[in-house]
A and B are shown apart, each in its own frame.
Chain A
Amino acid sequence: MSNVIIYTNSTNGVSVCVPTGELPINEVLAKDAPAGAIIVDDSTLPQGADSVFFDAWKLNGSTVTVDFPTAQAHKLRDFNAAAVQVAQARQLNTLAGIANAKSDADFASELATSRESIASATTTAQLVAIANPV
């Protein structure tokens, strides 16, 4: 058990500031954290599986709770992005097989470029844009 500093951040989540021990925690509170931040024992923070959902942590007074609808939404968002990526890649693989069978080098090259775009996409929005070109 050790003390940490917590506060509600700009995205309405909970930031957890862990002092390294180079300075007393009260100095870190004054220097590194915004006004309103508080010191709590880290054993009072959500533990176990709940700790995984810290993007859904909410600070109520001096108590941190887990907002499960938010946690589920985040998981669904990540799953959705991965599913779109897999589906697009499979479609391209099918088309690549057709292009190769017809010896269509230009189309095969275009497909390869699309596949690289999908692989490097980092958000669901980027994947949707690739799937629906202007």
Chain B
Amino acid sequence: MAGTIVADTIQDGAGNSTAMDNAIYGSAKAWVLFDGTGPTIRSSYNVSSVTRQGTGQFLVTMTNALADKNYVVVGSLVNGTTPTVNGVAFLAGSDYSGATAGSQTTTSFYFGTWAYPTTATNFPYTNVAVFR
């Protein structure tokens, strides 16, 4: 059965409450955890596929389109259980070459993953989330 609950705030049994805006705008609209060396998907929400375009170059496509392309992409990288690089970079909105900067759409976005300072790298733990 479909239905709609209209409320300005939500509250738990202990009396902690928050504005509904926090639930609507503060929750991730899509996320995916994957092994960039495969790539192999670990888990996801509202992501239909991850495409490796080249070393450290990825395209994420969402299952359901967002209302517009004004969304935030955040990510984290881990190079295995024992970090072996002294720095990593996650560049949302662009692949490694930067050729696709600004190509974010309502259904997909590119990002690049680097090891410091210049090497495009696939990381075993690549985690990405979208907020809007």
Give per-residue flags for A105-134: 1 if the beta carbon is below 8 A from chain B beta carbons, else 0. Answer: 000000000000001111100000000000
Q: Name the interface size band of chain A.
A: 20 to 34
B85 within 8 A of A: no
Of all chain A residues, which has the CB nearest B96?
A122
Q: What secondary structure prevails in chain A residues at the interface with B?
A: mixed
- Within 91-129 of B, Cβ neighbours of A (below 8 Å) are at 108, 117-119
List of A residues within 8 angstroms of B48 by Cβ: 19-20, 22-23, 27-28, 31-32
B54/A54 in contact, CB under 8 A? yes
Tell me how far the C-beta of A2 lies from the nearest C-beta in chain B, rounded to whole angstroms: 9
Complex Cα distance, B61 from A32, in Å, reads: 7
- Within 15-69 of A, Cβ neighbours of B (below 8 Å) are at 15-23, 27-28, 31-33, 54-55
A17/B49 in contact, CB under 8 A? yes
Stretch at the interface among B9-17, B21-29, B38-46, B72-80: B38-46
Complex Cα distance, B62 from A23, in Å, reads: 10
A9/B53 in contact, CB under 8 A? yes
Complex Cα distance, B46 from A21, in Å, reads: 10
List of B residues within 8 angstroms of A120 by Cβ: 117
A121/B117 in contact, CB under 8 A? yes
Q: What secondary structure prevails in chain B residues at the interface with A?
A: strand
Complex Cα distance, B86 from A119, in Å, reads: 13
List of B residues within 8 angstroms of A11 by Cβ: 53-54
Q: Name the interface size band of chain B.
A: 20 to 34
**With A23-B63, A122-B118, A123-B118: A18-B55 Cβ-Cβ less than 8 Å:** no
- Within 68-122 of A, Cβ neighbours of B (below 8 Å) are at 78, 81-82, 85, 119-122
A18/B39 in contact, CB under 8 A? yes
Of all chain B residues, which has the CB nearest A19?
B49
B18 within 8 A of A: no
Complex Cα distance, B52 from A9, in Å, reads: 10
List of B residues within 8 angstroms of A21 by Cβ: 41, 44
Of the residues B51, B54, B108, B117, contact of A18 by C-beta under 8 Å: B51
List of A residues within 8 angstroms of B34 by Cβ: 18
Complex Cα distance, B108 from A17, in Å, reads: 13
Of all chain A residues, which has the CB nearest B98?
A122
| 8 closest cross-chain pairs (CB), A and B | A20-B44, A17-B51, A32-B61, A32-B49, A20-B41, A122-B118, A16-B52, A22-B63
Interface, chain B (partner A; CB < 8 A):
32, 34, 38-41, 44, 46-55, 59, 61, 63, 108, 117-119
